[in-house]
Structure 1
Amino acid sequence: MKATVDKDTCTGCELCAQTCPEVFRMEGDVAVAYANPVPEEHETLARQAAEDCPVEAITIS
């Protein structure tokens, strides 16, 4: 599974980094997915972070 953050859409709310810091972190004013592929043990939280993103900037594939 791979997580991607659209940097043009991300508003920097930090929700994903708070929900799943093992996959997402902040770089400046935007989030990035730094753990790709997403470790199996963090897939559920990564999906939750994507679902909770208020601007739908996270894609899970």
Structure 2
Amino acid sequence: MKKLALAAALSMVATGAFAGGVAGSAVAPVVIAEDTSSSAGGILVPVLALILIAAAVAAND
């Protein structure tokens, strides 16, 4: 009975030692930043607004 209790105690200690397993290497993810600027340079919206205003003024005359 003492041998069985000793074997159980040793197996509990041994499983605690190997519980973590092998630690994997941490690899940082590669971050790719893309340039999101367009060739219009942000002039498209003001030009469209001017066209719409000109059309509204022309329709009122």
TM-score in same-fold range (> 0.5): no
More helix by share: 2
**What TM-score, normalized to structure 2?**
0.22
More strand by share: 1
**What TM-score, normalized to structure 1?**
0.22
Higher relative contact order (CA 8 A, sep 6+): 1
